[in-house]
A and B are shown apart, each in its own frame.
Chain A
Amino acid sequence: MAEVILEGQNLTKHYPVTKGLLQRTVGWVRAIDGISFTVEQGKTLSLVGESGAGKTTTAKMVLLLEKLTSGTILYKGEDLSKFSAAKIKAQYRPNVQSVQQNPWSSMNPRMRVRDIVGEPLVVNTKRTKQEIRNRVLEILDDVGLKAEHANLYPHEFSGGQRQRIAVARALALNPNLVVLDEPVSALDVSIRAQIMNLLKDLQDQHNLSYLVIAHNLATVRYMSHSVAIMYLGEIVEYGDAEELFQNPLHPYTKALISASVLTLPEDETEEVQQIILSGEMPSPLNPPPGCRFHTRCSEASAQCSEEVPEMRRVKANHQVRCHHHV
């Protein structure tokens, strides 16, 4: 087994809802409610779910942009909450970088590409200007951009090229882990393929670990080694990508897969019956009792609306949170 880079244990994030002049807390938005996952060296874990499932909050917690309500994040086996501020800056931040969804808003329009890509080096290392310039050119070459691009501004590039710049910036410091928040969803179809191929190549070359946030299952299947399906702040199914797609167990996973399979018009009469969920995701302010999915589940029984299902391991590489799979 590969070395574990990052481990989340029982992570929880609750945001207070305040009201009135005194800002009394009247409730909690349970954005994340006890999730656990591991990211191994050189592998990709994808968090999949719809808006409001808590994917981005998880990414923010990993990037230390949000404080945990409870739970532990282990980086290479060490508890992050025990790191001093200096140790975080020296050891954690340079090794955990991110690429954001929208390449039109994630870069300063007034900075040249060489300054954008070089900034992490200026902030985190003591390299000379010449060394930084060389490193920038090297990394631009890695992501398929040319040396003359270094002197241009972001507006002079297309969406796909900008996303390459964002990847270059994330890789400038040779990180272990890159958090990719919807890395291709803002791009055109033909460009998506280019960026996904690039990310895979870079992973192989540099033995990078990725934590991918995505909502498109086909993208996820192509990129990931393991997948966690999230619903309303919880992981409902977690396992190796291959196993999970071949043998989905949770009704929500099945519905998501059904929504993503390419079905041709005449196939409808055959057995490829689409699962269409009724209703919408409930509010995380007041999640339903029992299984959080029972309000939309076609297989729900009385037990589902009363008892909270535990995460159960059905195979070595497959866990599910559902009463129907014991």
Chain B
Amino acid sequence: MSKTILQVEDLHTSFFTRAGEVKAVDGISFHVDERETFGLVGESACGKTVTGLSLLRLLPEPAGRIVGGKIILNGRNILELSKKEMRSVRGKEISMILQDPMTSLNPVYTVGNQIAESIKLHQGLQDDKVTDEVISALRLLKIPAPESRLRDYPFQMSGGMRQRVVGAIAMSCRPNLLIADEPTTALDATIQAQYIALFQDVQRTTNVGILFITHDFGVVAKMCHRVGVMYAGRIVETATTSKIFKDPRHPYTVALINSVPRLEEKDKRLFSIEGQPPSLLNLPPGCRFAARCSQVMDKCREQQPAEIDVGDGHLVSCWRVK
């Protein structure tokens, strides 16, 4: 069995606003192994991005705070680290790719400069060595002619190339864990396919564990080994990707997969989930999906279902599942 890089246990992250406590992440647990891609799937505002930011401890303080749980990275709980210690973890052991390559690069620095920043900070190398490392990072992301490309500014590159540069920055110190927050959403279909294939290669050569945050089941199918489906701050189902598609157990997972239009099927009326997710300010006492669920029972509205293992690490939180 491969090594576990990240173990998240019962993580709670809340935002304290004038209107009250918003429980953006409310008790989630999962792990990411070496050389594995774990997908976190869900709709907007289900807590995917907040989970990513919590792992880096980059929540907008003081409103956002981790109020409970453990984040164990390479064997130690990073919630116990000081701010200074945390700075040496970020970029070196964990790094992150953001959604929009147009806004996540600094327009007034060359890409070489931006990649060099974390290399200088974490590895303390000198000029020539830094350049070598920058070139090797660009090579890792298969950017053609890296020796001349590193002198380019972001505006001289296309969207797909810029997202590769963002990937090169993230991978420059060869982290163990990469958090990729919707890295392909802003890209075109054929460029998206290129980027996913590229990251599979990067993973094979560096053994990096990837936490892949997305709302797109198509990308999940291509990229992820295991998936956690999030709804209103909780993970409702965790399983391997093929299990999630072939034998989804939670009604929300079933509904979400059915509502994705498939190229192979036509003239079937699309399945749609009625209603909206609940407000995170005022969560229902029972199962959070109860109000939109087609198989709801009285018990669902009263008590939260516990997470149960239906075999092989396939975890579901639903009263219907035995």
Contact = CB atoms under 8 A, between A and B. Distances in A.
**Chain B binds chain A:** yes
Interface of A: 50-51, 158-160, 188-194, 196-197, 215-219, 221-222, 242, 245, 255-266, 274-278, 280
Contacts of A159: 44
Interface in B225-247: 225, 241-242, 245-246
A188 B44 contact: yes
Interface in B204-261: 215-218, 221-222, 225, 241-242, 245-246, 255-256, 259-261
Contacts of B245: 264
A259 B261 contact: no
Interface string B180-200: 000000001111111001000
B158 interface: yes
Given A193-B270, A242-B266, A221 B261 contact: yes
A258 B242 contact: no
B160 interface: yes
A260 B160 contact: no
A81 to B, nearest CB: 33
Nearest to B41: A189
- Candidate in A191, A261, A262, A265 with the most chain B CB atoms within 10 angstroms: A262
A188 B215 contact: yes
A277 B194 contact: yes
A266 B256 contact: no
A262 B262 contact: yes
Contact of B222 (A160, A218, A263, A266): A263
Nearest to B216: A189
Interface hub of B193, B259, B261, B276 (most chain A Cβ within 10 A): B261
B263 interface: yes
B187 to A, nearest CB: 9
A274 B197 CA distance: 10
Contacts of B221: 262-265
A221 B263 contact: yes
A218 B189 contact: no
Nearest to A246: B266
A262 B272 contact: no
Contacts of B255: 190
A215 B192 CA distance: 12
B102 to A, nearest CB: 12
A193 B271 contact: yes
A266 B242 contact: yes
Nearest to B157: A280
Contacts, number: 112
B297 interface: no
A215 B188 CA distance: 8
Contacts of A276: 190, 193-194, 197
Nearest to B218: A262
Given A50-B190, A256-B189, 11 more contacts: A50-B191, A189-B216, A189-B256, A190-B43, A190-B259, A192-B261, A255-B190, A265-B241, A276-B194, A276-B197, A280-B161
B127 interface: no
B261 A222 contact: yes
Given A196-B270, A218-B260, A277 B43 contact: no
7 contacts: A50-B190, A191-B272, A197-B270, A217-B189, A245-B263, A264-B246, A265-B221
A222 B270 contact: yes
A189 B260 contact: yes
B189 A216 contact: yes
Contacts of A194: 272, 274
Given A51-B188, A221-B266, A264-B245, A190 B197 contact: no
A192 B255 CA distance: 13
Contacts of A265: 221-222, 225, 241-242
B264 interface: yes
B273 interface: yes
B269 interface: yes
B182 to A, nearest CB: 13
8 tightest Cβ-Cβ pairs between the two chains A and B: A50-B188, A193-B272, A193-B270, A218-B261, A188-B43, A193-B259, A190-B273, A259-B193
A104 to B, nearest CB: 12
A262 B259 CA distance: 13
Interface in B164-192: 188-192
Contact of A217 (B222, B242, B263, B272): B263
Nearest to A161: B276
Contacts of B241: 264-265
A274 B270 CA distance: 26
A160 B45 CA distance: 14
A141 B194 CA distance: 44
A189 B273 CA distance: 10
A189 B197 contact: no
Nearest to B268: A222
Contacts of A51: 159, 188
A118 to B, nearest CB: 26
Contacts of B43: 188-191
A222 B215 CA distance: 20
A9 B307 CA distance: 60
A189 B309 CA distance: 27
A188 B197 CA distance: 25
A43 to B, nearest CB: 15
A87 B221 CA distance: 52
Given A50-B188, A197-B270, A257 B263 contact: yes
A265 B217 CA distance: 12
A193 B272 CA distance: 5
B190 A197 contact: no
Nearest to A49: B188
